[in-house]
Chains A and B, each alone.
Chain A
Amino acid sequence: MTSSVDSVLVLGGGVAGMAAAQTLGDRNVRVHLVETADRLGGHAASWACMATDSCRQCGACLALDMAQQAARHANISVHLNTTMDTLKKNGPGFDVRLTSGKRIQAARIILATGFTPFDPSVLSGLHFGQHEKLITTARLNQLLKEEALAGFLGNAAAPDIAFIQCVGSRNRELQRDFCSQVCCKISLRHADKLMHLMPDAAITLFHMDLQVIGKETRCLAADLSGRIQLAQGVPAEILEDRETGRLRLITEDPGARARTARSFDLVVLSVGMAPSPELEMLAARLGAGPNVWGFFNTSDASLPDGIHAAGCAAGPRDIPGSIQDGRIAAAKVLADLDPARAKTRDILVWGNGPQAVTIARNLAERGHQTTCFGQGDAPDGILCMAPEKILSVDGVAGCFTVRYLQDGVCRTLTCGAIIAAPEPEFTPAVLRGPVAGTIDLAAFADIPPDRVPESVAILLDYSGPEFKPFARLALTSAMAARTAGRQVTLIMNKMLVHGATGQQRYDQARKAGVRFLRINAPADIQIEKTGTGFSLTLDEATLPGIPVTFSCETLVVPAARVPGRDFQKTAGLLKQALDKEGFLQSANVRHRPVQSPRKGIYFAGPGHDEVDDADLAEELDAILADLDFSGPSPEPGVEINQKKCAQCLTCLRICPHHAIVLNDKARPEIVPAACFSCHLCVANCPALAIESGHFSTDRLADQFQKDRMVILACQRSAALAAGPLDLPDHIQLVPVPCACRTSPSLVLKALLAGASQVIVAGCHEHNCRSMDGSTTAAREVARLQTLPGITPDRVSWHPVAASETQRFARILLDAGMS
């Protein structure tokens, strides 16, 4: 059992460190969270919100929410402006002295020192620092956060803006032969944000191979195509046009076989990630051996026993990925400190594909009682069943009841958690032509390399942006065939180089002589069947005007990944939304990557995202981090007064977290373990039977004062944004647990109390932790505005993210003037 001396030291107060600290703190472990800066939150907390008309899932807002929670956490001691000074091994733990002089006995250490943006002045040809309008993505974030971009661009209505990807990434000469994983997503979001702010801007995004990976990015890239120009090929020299003062780039003119100069008002360098200077300083003291890049994401890196790396200290990751990694590290520490504490549960794996079986096997190995919906041989410890029909999924985390039909009989299964991992469908690619006789990639990968025909071509990106695991599979099987002496050609629009060693794998394949051809669109390839195989003629993107031709015996085309036919029904049974493409799990960043708004229901595998085997293991770790060591249930602060309850079951119907169940007396009851405390039920109970400790209507109404501007602000977004603002006396901020708490009656009460105006402010659409809280609030405000005497300058709705302090200040200023 952990004792007071058994505290855990978390080095780094960014999202990974905070997630680790929170996870440990929630399980009653004492945590020392040590941060060199003067605030928690890391880079993410200083980044701009990328929401346009709705959330773009960047996750920056999460950092501020987490920082507030960590600072308030009873089990977390936060040490700011501090780092580790000395470290001495003491048994399995460590004696640590901080630079503040404080001594800590740490049972374990989590290294979460984050990253530092690559310094582009290393690349002398960019002339970084010599032109004001040549900036990095980090600086653009700052300008956006401070609402200073328009001024910075001289209020130009239609600026020409360039993004240059892979600055300091994918560069073997710099000993940085890795993809920084996040930059393409960041630049796509930035481009989207800029188009939102300046609809007449002309944006060009220069990339090496645009990494369109993950449901959020796929949708965004599709949405942006046509609105911005995507240009393959990255300029590496930024010149100044002396006459106009603009920035000039020389690029290949795709139409002619020539170079051309293009001028821009702003050039944004999408800089990669480098290890933080703190890590470089601490590595020796910790006895840590990072890899050549300075990270811990390859097998040649090493960490001493008792020290775990999390987040970007381990390797480049995005914000949701870092949070997940922090939780996984915390779970490893928990398992390490007190293995007996791990709970075992009954878990249902919903799915019958190979990934579902992998998950089930893993769960069984860790002692969980596992049931798998699927046919086939049941490995030891797994109960496999193939119901004819699943009828319903009721209950809450810890106690789900699944009713299903088998052999014509309705049966019931109870389980503590459900992992939804159904297999998507893979539809065979249909070639324009049409040409028959191609081989599916998965089938090709199963052919032993020495039985592969003499010449092979693999055709990627043919049915849309390639499914990430297939890009990897194509590369590995191409490499295997090449090693066996085969002539291998890989045709692609872009090569996905995700993962720590994706770039190295691609480099090795080229070096081994796999021939890579690039096409702009599938229409650029003509395929003909010949006596011995196929003849391909294509307009190679790097050689415009020289159509090239070659033949191969075997043509391999991956299938297209599409949502399974039963996904709609599965989502319906689990009471979960599908994403825009029809795959499982909404893109809501509050629950990504693997969780859902319904506690105890998790997503894994390719049915919800572009998940390969390595990702699947990580997803499972993340799920188990949540399951194995679940902490005490938070106090929801809401309760149904059974005397007042009219049993209309409105609450049960609307609860976005399905945390209200009928008890054995057939009356609705809130299950604390499942409740997120959004108060939607409180705002909507017709009998006013649901009572709240902190946010009852009366308690809120008591705060309303005459002649004040009342802001009903979601405590997860707008209230956090207002935190740093020094609000004048005439503005009264009333935090609410979620925007959906603001029922029309509450707003009317504020007006009756004499409020000069009421502003309801909450998360951006699709960012609400309770899914529809913001849209509900926006709808209610719009409805109020139809009432006589209530004009938009008296009652209004504003989506404001936690990171939008400056924007919120402007909104309040504008509102005050109206």
Chain B
Amino acid sequence: METAPLDKNTELGRLLNRLTRGDNIDECLTCGICNSRCTWFDGPGGPLPRQIVRMAALGLEQALVDSHMLWDCLICNRCTQACPMGITMDLVVTRARGLAAADGQIPGDIRKGIKTRLELGDVNGLTTEEFVETVEWMSEEFADEMEDPEARIPHDQPGCRFLYLPNPRELGINLMHLTAMARLFYAMGETWTLSSHHTDVTNWGYFVGKEDVAKEMVRMVVEPAEALGIETLVLSECGHGYHVLKCKAAQLLGREPKFNVVSIPELCLAYAQKGILKFDPDVHPYEIAYHDPCNVARKSGGYEAPRQLLALCCHGVRELVPNREDGVCCGGGGGILQDSSSTKKRMITGKPKADQMRATGLKHLATACLSCHRQLGELSTHFELGMKVDTVAALASECLIL
């Protein structure tokens, strides 16, 4: 059998041991805890987190770059949650992916998406003209819907309190969602705007470990937002987008953005607590389960706001078991959902989630990430769970008392 020469002094090794904690692979205790926590559970294939760390720590860079484990990892950090040395798996994997990316191993869809996003500002390739046309048309429809000629979906308005950063799907296949969010802003009675420079909350640079790309994508969000002079950037429900803009933006940019960052469910909850937003839970006269998006919950600490908002909008919130910091990934994390060739694999990675969903015996599930939302919907269909999957903010909008 071919043997791999150990070489500690590799680019990856240097990269991963730069920090004193977090991505400190040399400190791996080889306790094996991570292996038992992997969100693939006992599904066939998938990564062994310890082997990833050990390959990185021992400088077996080629073996790691060639390994399917790198791209099977959902970078959900479930293993990290229990690591006694605090080794942060998403850093290890994304940086190793960054090396692989140099080798041209990025899945085709993701490579294409990144290119489009960097060129046009939108991963789906929406041009500024198309954006303006779509939003202005939607704004007219929105005024009709609200029966208020003053009701608008504004764009590129300087000096607003809020700038809403949508998910590209809200300007493509899921326009209704954007209207639903507009209802929420309308009810808050605050000034808000969209930006033609801001059509996309996603950051696929993070998935592939290309720090320069991730930084550029953050810059593309932050600088125009600052130019508009907004107070708070409101993020659409997007897990990794939230994690990057909330937890990583300052590090990537080398400075703090000059505005606050919240997600739309967090904002809604705050306005509900002020008594400005009111909801009618009887619109959803059922108990609903809540799925923690890994990026929002475990990786960014956003556990409670979506639950609290959901509790105002439905007849009770049921927990999936396990949840919160031990929550199970939907099976679509780490860029796997964005790779159209991975559908079959996603039904393997999603099996534990589907089992959890089935165990609730409920017909309704909500989450706070549009990627999870899509994956969970597909799981419901594939595993014949008969569960309707919604996002928290969409449900809130549905039962808004105006």
Contacts and interface: CB of A to CB of B under 8 A. Distances in A.
A551 B26 CA distance: 20
Interface in A522-555: 537, 540, 542-543, 546-550
Contacts of B84: 170-174, 177
A127 B30 contact: no
Interface in B29-62: 29-33, 35-38, 40-42, 44-46, 48, 50-51, 54-55, 58, 60
Interface string A228-244: 00001111110100100
Contact of B326 (A124, A489, A516): A124
Interface stretch (B2-10, B155-163, B166-174): B2-10
Contact of B46 (A171, A242, A259, A550): A259
Contact of A250 (B2, B30, B36): B36
B401 interface: no
A261 interface: yes
B54 A232 contact: no
A513 interface: yes
A252 B32 contact: yes
A663 to B, nearest CB: 63
B36 A235 contact: yes
A234 B79 CA distance: 12
A752 interface: no
Interface in B341-386: 355, 359
Contacts of A208: 29-32
Nearest to A250: B36
B3 A547 contact: yes
B48 A125 contact: no
Nearest to B17: A513
B27 interface: yes
A688 to B, nearest CB: 64
A261 B85 contact: no
B37 A125 contact: yes
A614 B348 CA distance: 53
Interface in A238-284: 239, 242, 249-252, 257-261
B42 A542 contact: no
B149 interface: no
A237 B32 CA distance: 11
A550 B9 CA distance: 13
A644 interface: no
A242 B359 contact: yes
B283 interface: no
B287 interface: no
Interface in A483-513: 487, 489, 507, 510-511, 513
A548 B26 contact: no
A125 B40 CA distance: 15
Given A125-B326, A542-B30, A537 B3 contact: yes
A548 B4 contact: yes
Contacts of A550: 5-6
A548 B8 CA distance: 12
Interface residues of B, dominant DSSP: loop
B231 interface: no
Contacts of B325: 124
B31, B51, B54 interface centre (most CB from chain A within 10 Å) = B31
Contact of A542 (B17, B41, B51): B51
Contact of A259 (B1, B35, B54): B35
B42 A125 contact: no
B316 interface: no
Nearest to B6: A550
- In this complex, the interface size class of chain B, counting residues with CB under 8 Å from chain A, is 35 or more
B32 A549 contact: no
B51 A261 contact: no
Contact of A233 (B4, B5, B50): B50
B32 A232 contact: yes
Contact of B31 (A123, A234, A239): A234
A235 B324 CA distance: 19
Nearest to B358: A242
A259 B33 contact: no
Interface string A583-621: 000000000000000000000000000000000000000
A234 B41 CA distance: 15
Interface string A173-216: 11001000000000000000000000000000010100000000
B257 interface: no
Contacts of B154: none
Interface in B265-287: none
A173 B86 contact: yes
B41 A259 contact: yes
B378 to A, nearest CB: 23
B322 A124 contact: yes
B24 interface: yes
B31 A548 contact: no
A228 B237 CA distance: 50
A489 B84 CA distance: 23
A733 interface: no
B306 to A, nearest CB: 19
A314 interface: no
Contact of B8 (A174, A515, A549): A515
A249 B37 CA distance: 9
A233 B58 contact: no
A507 B83 CA distance: 14
A125 B58 contact: no
Nearest to A507: B27
Contacts of A123: 82
Interface string B49-77: 01100110010100100000000000000
B29, B51, B58 interface centre (most CB from chain A within 10 Å) = B29
A542 B8 contact: no
Contacts of B58: 515, 517, 540, 543, 548
Interface string A459-488: 000000000000000000000000000010
A166 interface: yes
A258 B2 CA distance: 20
B36 A236 contact: yes
Given A124-B325, A250-B41, A510-B26, A233 B32 contact: yes
A547 B30 contact: no
B78 to A, nearest CB: 8
B54 A542 contact: yes
A794 interface: no
Contacts of B45: 258
A182 to B, nearest CB: 19
A252 B50 contact: yes
A261 B40 CA distance: 11
A629 B5 CA distance: 62
A533 to B, nearest CB: 15
A177 B84 CA distance: 9
A257 B51 contact: yes
A518 B50 CA distance: 13
Contacts of A251: 32, 35-36
A547 B6 CA distance: 10
A276 to B, nearest CB: 24
Given A542-B51, A543-B54, A546-B63, A170 B4 contact: no
A173 B33 CA distance: 13
A237 B50 contact: no
Given A234-B31, A510-B28, A546-B63, A257 B48 contact: yes
B60 A543 contact: yes
Contact of A125 (B6, B27, B31, B322): B322
A28 to B, nearest CB: 49
B81 interface: yes
B35 A250 contact: yes
Given A177-B84, A233-B36, 5 more contacts: A127-B322, A233-B35, A252-B35, A259-B46, A546-B4
11 contacts: A124-B326, A172-B85, A173-B84, A232-B30, A234-B36, A252-B50, A258-B48, A515-B8, A515-B58, A516-B30, A547-B2
| In the complex, the 4 A-B pairs of residues with the closest C-beta atoms, listed nearest first | A233-B32, A235-B36, A261-B42, A171-B84
